[in-house]
Amino acid sequence: MNRSPSNTRPIAIALAAMSLLAGTARADVTVISFGGTNQKAQAKAFYEPYAKATGSKVIPGEYNGEQAKIKAMVEAKNVTWDVVEVESPELARGCEEGLYEKIDYSKIGPKADFVPAAVTECGIGIFVWSTILAYNSDALKTAPTSWADFWDLKKFPGKRGMRKGAKFTLEFALIADGVKPDEVYKVLGTKAGTERAFKKLDQIKSSIQWWEAGAQPPQLLAAGDVVMTSAYNGRISTAQKEGKTNLKIVWTNNIYDFDLWGIPVGTPKKDEAYKFIAFASKPENQAVFAGEIPYGPTNLKGTALVDKAIVPELPTAPQNMKGAFASDTQFWVEHGEDLEQRFNAWAAK
């Protein structure tokens, strides 16, 4: 067959178009978060502006914190997730086990720009979030003010919601039992302290409704399944914004922690991952994110840019930080597996 120019031209154009498309597809970056209103806020503050600024798309995805998928991907050397939002103990453990890249801060920004606790070996903090006590003011005559009230089934009758797991459950049990916030992890590290926490939980065990995803507590409160629950502060605030003004937050003795960006080892899009993280860590973008869902920025300049009206809802507001304590990452790295197993055994009885 004759290969005249008019014959080969469409093929050449098609090939060129395909390679161009492939080129742009290669610049897309997959970002995994915890889903729900958190992901929606990230889309507004990070994904869409990033796509507008650089032209490469952000492919969002969600998960519930399970590290098994990342471990399987890294071991099989077939990594499809480029940037992952990870909680701090999982990141620390994953870093030691070689699941996450060691962050090169020259590609993101000077370390002094960020809150010191947000700068870690394998991850950079995205935001500060807090686990608080949320309640339905329509279902309770008097408002609860502390975790001891959470345990008071006589004065505040109704079911309780708690996160299914040892983390953010055992600490609140000890607080309700009278342990001071700065001693919680020391007590929990002893055998007697762990037993004390489980004995305290036994007092309300039959009234507890366990939740796993961050989106569940506001749903449970609104549906009337529980009257009080532990919850992530941002999810309750966004529910309030959407009209559920009967959901209220009690900030007493809340536990705050960071979520961090991690890059799984072996991703083919490491440069794009760094570009995205650098973009998301800029103060103006973090301020937009805080405006969408009240999680505190980790960039120190970003805190100044946040709208004054939103500041009282952030975990980092001074009145909310009173009595609050940080989740002890090292403690959970060390004791997390054992306590989670123990919790499972206790819950299954």
Partner 1 sequence: MSNLTATIAETVTTDRSVSLKTQLHRAERMKKLKYGALIVPLALFLLFTFAWPIAALLKRSIDNPEIVTAFPATSALLHSWDGRSLPDNAVFAAFAEEAGKIKGTPVFASAAKRLNMELPGFRSLMMKTARAMPPEAGQSAREALIAADQRWGDIATWQYLGRNASPTTARYLLASVDRKYDDAGHIVKVDDDEAIYVDVLKRTFGMSAVVTICCLLLGFPLAYMMATQPPRIANVLMIFVLLPFWTSVLVRVAAWLVLLQSEGLVNQALRAFGLIEKPLQLVFNSTGVYVAMVHILLPFMILPLYSVMKGISPAYVRAAVSLGCTPFKSFWKVYFPQAVPGVGAGCLLVFIICMGYYITPALLGSPKEQMVSYFVAFYTNQTINWGMAAALSAILFAATLLLYMVYSRLVGQQDAVKAR
Minimum CB separation of residue 294 from partner 1 in Å reads 28
Give the CA radius of gyration of the chain: 23
Among 44, 57, 71, 301, binds partner 1 (CB under 8 A): 71
Torsions phi, psi for 259 (to 5 deg): -105, 140
Residue 182's identity, in one-letter code, is D
Are 347 and 198 in contact by the 8 Å Cβ rule? The answer is no
Q: By CB under 8 A, which span of 18-26, 76-84, 108-116, 340-348 interacts with partner 1?
A: 340-348
SS (H, E, C) 18-63: HHHHHHHHHCCEEEEECCHHHHHHHHHHHHHHHHHHHCCCEEEEEC
Instruction: Retrieve residue 215's tokens.
Output: 């989106």
Q: Does 192 bind partner 1 (CB under 8 A)?
A: no
Selected from 14, 25, 143, 345, the binder of partner 1 by CB under 8 A is: 345
Instruction: Give 78 or 341: the residue with its C-beta nearer to partner 1.
Output: 341
Q: Which of 7, 8, 78, 344 binds partner 1 (CB under 8 A)?
A: 344
Q: CA-CA distance, 241 to 283, in Å (whole number)?
A: 24
27 closest CA partner among 264, 282, 279, 268: 268
Q: How far is CA 322 from CA 236, 273, 314, in A?
A: 20, 36, 13
Token pair in block for residue 345: 């055994």
Using the rule CB under 8 A, which residue among 28, 62, 152, 340 binds partner 1?
340
Please select the residue that binds partner 1; options are 3, 23, 66, 178, rule is CB under 8 A. Answer: 66
- Of the pair 93, 200, the CB lying nearest partner 1 is at 93
Which range in 63-71, 109-117, 256-264, 284-292 contacts partner 1 by CB under 8 A?
63-71
Residue in the block written with tokens 């998928």: 69
Between 93 and 282, CB nearer to partner 1: 93
Between 167 and 282, name the residue whose CB sits nearer to partner 1.
167
Any contact of residue 225 with partner 1 (CB under 8 A)? yes
Which positions touch partner 1 (CB under 8 A)? 66-69, 71, 93, 96-98, 164-165, 198, 209-210, 223-225, 333-338, 340-342, 344-349
